[in-house]
Structure 1
């Protein structure tokens, strides 16, 4: 007599083995509306391209499907906090990335600690994020203000420097970092003035004249460094003819639509986080070619930042074997990961990504609408001694 095993209990017993692996969830928070909208759109595009490249188009990690939940914080700190809490609490994401505004990013940091979940900061740059406001759940792929400052300081050897920056967290933090960077690099340049204007300012007449008055009689070279997020005031400052006082402009890096407006300043030098034609590696080659194919433009600064954050996410989730926070932190401290700029490393002490920067010159002979900058030199991470300030 044959013995039959009931089918229903057998299927129940096999169910765990037959069930598909639980998907991995990632939140991307960006200021998709508001003054930093162009940055946010670039970040999202780069993030999705990065995930596609790194997962070979499968959008899965270790056999688990990857789901991306995109949220708009409008670059508002209170909304940033809410969006991140929703991502961790309601959406149950394993890891989050964000955001465009330094003010909003700083507001989000305690939420990561409250929910005990990892937050990768991209592209906000305020030093406080990996400094005084840091907690162990925070990692940053974006460069910080000090890296910007150290890169610029490498080009200021002597003379007199003034700053024009926005009157909020990003601008003030950047100028503070620039001051410290000049000291750290041993530069003999002297800072003679700091000028802050509203974040959405359009008239720079009074600000520029105050800067000119402070600089015009100081030792040469006389440099005005412009640190600005969003529509850049360099053209308006240039219209006031700072060269009358022997003053040259030193712009920080900016997005391609802004760089296109600087053609009249051939020979002007500055420093930048990323320019599509500078890094030479297979990942960047694919990135540039694919972005040109899809968007008819080269990838930009924040597109590269989004791609970099995607690389950190994929590398971390792969190494940790999933979204367990303790395993993620253990995997990410000291973790190296490939990016369009080359290999980066999360410093164990403060989780800041160490990375190169670029010294550029605006081209005189521009062969096409995107042939804008020439590389003076890559400034390696080893030449950017970013202080550890998180008091871990």
Structure 2
């Protein structure tokens, strides 16, 4: 009887084990990569919160909009965010973790130009897609460009060309420059000088100051520029360094009866901290709080942002929001997280932004997104942009022939 029972029990146990295995397979939770698509986002949150906090709010709003609309092919879009503290080495550590441990489909973000270049090189070495948001150095897509790296914001050359158009109209013949002594500042000054010279061969440069980024000693800087007695000043300082420079310059009368042309100063992130000390009449790139384009896209974005955060959007908000919207467009078109398919999808793709349609050029991976040019002013003891107009980035890009001469072959 024992044998017969054992014979009957064996098959029954086998069937039960198989059934249990099947049940376990059915009830096992799906892997995260089966239900979501991850973007690894890196930025200098602790180094420059005035820009990166609005930027974070912008991309968080965009992620929610993407997922409410059905995600990416039915999968949830997820962003894993890391702080690089403004240091290339920390950005590389974060990138390595995001790729090797978190298995992100792409890297995105970056603020400082030297960090962006480090991430671009990482993308090339590890064959991972990188969508740069803020880094402005021309090298990112031109002299150091690679097939894995794309850039959203208008570059130094693009913004310098917009500013040079206005600077060339000034009667000023002698100029001085003040810029942070790292990749972004060096690149911005060099390209502005080149572009202004093409428009005004009679211009000469009589002084330059290169304070360490984040550590400006404004007194000696202002004194050195004042001693040179230039007709006009090119400024590339931003953030807390800009506040110190403006305060010291106003105190010593550096800007009185002198033209100033300034990268980024019209962005609310950098005007707001100046309050009633904001300079008046500077020619700047930026983003007017009043809603410069007054288009349906810009209006809808500003209203949604205001409703969600109870504050007006800043330039960082636009960058963060558009970064994710463009990434989602690429992922949808690729219908894959394969790097080669992402690159193929991104080259030439058109995407939406609060500033209207923009495109990533196939030849150099530079976006055609533009920015505003205007003058600084004051309203209710607060810095604002006045006399502004939107400049389409596509009109300020180098020709295909110039790109081929600058950009290494992949």
Q: TM-score, normalised by structure 2?
A: 0.83
Asked whether 1:372 is paired with 2:372, we answer no
Query: Does the C-alpha gap of structure 1 residues 189 and 45 become closer, same or farther in structure 2, counting only changes over 3 Å?
Result: farther
Asked whether 1:234 is paired with 2:251, we answer no
* Contact 2:374/2:385 (8 A) holds in 1: yes
Inter-partner Cα distance in structure 2 for 1:314 and 1:181: 35
Q: Deviations over 1:97-119 (max 9, x none)?
A: 12112111211222212221100
Query: Does the C-alpha gap of structure 1 residues 118 and 370 become closer, same or farther in structure 2, counting only changes over 3 Å?
Result: farther
How large is the RMSD of aligned CA atoms in angstroms?
2.8
Asked whether 1:80 is paired with 2:80, we answer no
Choose from 269, 293, 304 the match for 1:279. Answer: 293
Q: Which runs of 5+ in 2 are unaligned?
A: 1-14
Q: Tell me which residue corresponds to 1:314.
A: 328
* Contact 2:271/2:278 (8 A) holds in 1: no
SS in 1 for 2:260: strand
**Structure with the higher helix share, 1 or 2:** 2
Q: Tell me which residue corresponds to 2:271.
A: 259
Inter-partner Cα distance in structure 1 for 2:335 and 2:88: 32
* Contact 1:333/1:347 (8 A) holds in 2: yes
State the shift of 1:334 in Å: 0.9
* Contact 1:358/1:375 (8 A) holds in 2: no
Inter-partner Cα distance in structure 1 for 2:247 and 2:279: 13
State the shift of 1:263 in Å: 4.5
* Contact 2:180/2:210 (8 A) holds in 1: yes
Asked whether 1:98 is paired with 2:94, we answer no
SS in 2 for 1:224: strand
Choose from 102, 106, 122 the match for 2:133. Answer: 122
State the shift of 1:132 in Å: 2.0
Asked whether 1:355 is paired with 2:369, we answer yes
* Contact 1:271/1:357 (8 A) holds in 2: no
* Contact 2:44/2:83 (8 A) holds in 1: yes
* Contact 1:226/1:234 (8 A) holds in 2: no
Q: Tell me which residue corresponds to 2:58.
A: 46
Asked whether 1:31 is paired with 2:40, we answer no
Q: Tell me which residue corresponds to 1:302.
A: 316
Q: Number of residues paired by the alignment?
A: 375
Query: Does the C-alpha gap of structure 1 residues 43 and 299 become closer, same or farther in structure 2, counting only changes over 3 Å?
Result: same
State the shift of 1:191 in Å: 4.2
- Structure 1 residue ranges (4+ consecutive) displaced by more than 4 angstroms after TM superposition: 5-12, 18-21, 262-267, 368-371
* Contact 1:284/1:341 (8 A) holds in 2: yes
Q: Deviations over 1:47-85 (max 9, x none)?
A: 111222344465x21101111101111111111111111
* Contact 1:256/1:370 (8 A) holds in 2: no
Inter-partner Cα distance in structure 2 for 1:354 and 1:189: 31
SS in 2 for 1:92: coil
Inter-partner Cα distance in structure 2 for 1:171 and 1:319: 36
Q: Which runs of 5+ in 1 are unaligned?
A: 217-221
Inter-partner Cα distance in structure 2 for 1:189 and 1:380: 28
Q: Deviations over 1:348-392 (max 9, x none)?
A: 11101112222212345x2x6778222432222343133523233
Inter-partner Cα distance in structure 2 for 1:243 and 1:166: 19
Inter-partner Cα distance in structure 2 for 1:376 and 1:322: 41
* Contact 1:26/1:94 (8 A) holds in 2: yes
Q: How does 1:144-163 map to 2 (within 5 A)?
A: 144-157=155-168, 158=170, 159-160=172-173, 161-163=175-177
Q: TM-score, normalised by structure 1?
A: 0.86
Q: Tell me which residue corresponds to 2:154.
A: 143
Query: Does the C-alpha gap of structure 1 residues 266 and 133 become closer, same or farther in structure 2, counting only changes over 3 Å?
Result: closer
For the pair shown, the structure with the greater C-alpha radius of gyration is 2
Query: Does the C-alpha gap of structure 1 residues 172 and 29 become closer, same or farther in structure 2, counting only changes over 3 Å?
Result: same
State the shift of 1:10 in Å: 12
State the shift of 1:262 in Å: 5.8
